[in-house]
Amino acid sequence: SGDMFLGVPFNIASYSLLTTMLAQVCGYKPGEFIHIIGDAHIYLNHLEQVKLQLERKPKKLPILKLNSEKKSLFDFRFEDIGLENYEPYPPIKAKVAV
């Protein structure tokens, strides 16, 4: 299932990062990330937060930068991953519904 407010954004970011890392260590350039969601939903206790999120104007996307010297997925460390031009809005707090 897909918790559209809390779970899905985390999943998209995580799997996009993993896809980009895998592409690098395999000598490829990443293409599109396609995410199929079954049972997409918004929990009732997140409605106010979702309304706030929808009021925000989208910003320019940041650029993911990886340490190009890493040739194995297992060699990556936190400091090998960065975002350029990341200008986030303040966080929107919400409790996990389950």
On the question of pLDDT at 97 being above 90, the answer is: no
Q: Residue 98 has what pLDDT?
A: 74
pTM of the model: 0.88
On the question of pLDDT at 69 being above 80, the answer is: yes
3-state secondary structure of 41: strand
Q: Answer with the residue of higher pLDDT: 26 or 38.
A: 26
| E strands, the chain, in order | 2-3, 40-41, 63-66, 81-84
Average pLDDT along the chain: 96
Q: Residue 4 has what pLDDT?
A: 96
Confirm if 23 and 30 have CB atoms less than 8 A apart: yes
Q: Which of 62, 43, 32, 52 is nearest to 92 (CA)?
A: 52
Mean pLDDT, residues 86-96: 96
Q: Is beta strand 63-66 parallel, antiparallel or unpaired with respect to 40-41?
A: unpaired
